[in-house]
Amino acid sequence: MRNIVLCGSMKVKDKIFEVAKKLEQMGHTVLLPEECIKGLPKEIASRAHFDRISKNENDTILIVNDTKNGIENYIGPNSFAEIAFSFYFKKDTYLLNDIYEPFKDEIIGWGIKPLKGNLEYFNEFNKKGNQ
């Protein structure tokens, strides 16, 4: 199993915790955006989380793009920055749900994989070596 760095809007942090728990039960090591959850200033929290994303070459990035304010598959500016950062550092990057339409071109072009809510599908990616 791999280290999985979770990213997402702090407005859906309950969903982030839920996903973390499921992934840990599946045997993965999960790294949370702790500084954001603790409410540290944006600059400190973002730098710390970008460090977490870029550190390990074997890390997988999972964007928890849940429904926010009635918008399905929401990806906000911070999560989009994390996706771009993970792309730049050649990380295996997944979306928990489906593609967020406003960023469709980038998400498809950068090879970001939508799990469509199925964490078992995430494990299938790993088993097949499509990381």
Query: Is the confidence at residue 122, as pLDDT, over 70?
Result: no
pLDDT digits (tens, 9 = 90+) for 27-77: 888 998 877 677 788 888 888 889 888 886 668 999 999 999 999 999 999
CA distances from 128 to 60, 111, 116, 121 (A): 15, 16, 18, 11
Q: What does the alpha-carbon distance between residue 66 and residue 25 come to, in Å, rounded to a whole number?
A: 20
Query: Is the confidence at residue 101, as pLDDT, over 60?
Result: yes
Please, are residues 60 and 4 in contact by the beta-carbon 8 Å criterion? Answer: yes
Q: Does domain 3-128 have CATH number 3.40.50?
A: yes
Query: Is the confidence at residue 100, as pLDDT, over 80?
Result: yes
pLDDT digits (tens, 9 = 90+) for 81-96: 999 999 999 999 999 9
How confident is the model at residue 131, as a pLDDT? 44
3-class state of residue 6 by DSSP? strand
Kindly report the backbone phi and psi dihedral angles of residue 76, in degrees, each rounded to the nearest multiple of 5, phi listed first.
-90, 180
Q: What does the alpha-carbon distance between residue 78 and residue 116 come to, in Å, rounded to a whole number?
A: 21
Query: Is the confidence at residue 11, as pLDDT, over 80?
Result: yes
Is this structure's pTM higher than 0.85?
Answer: yes
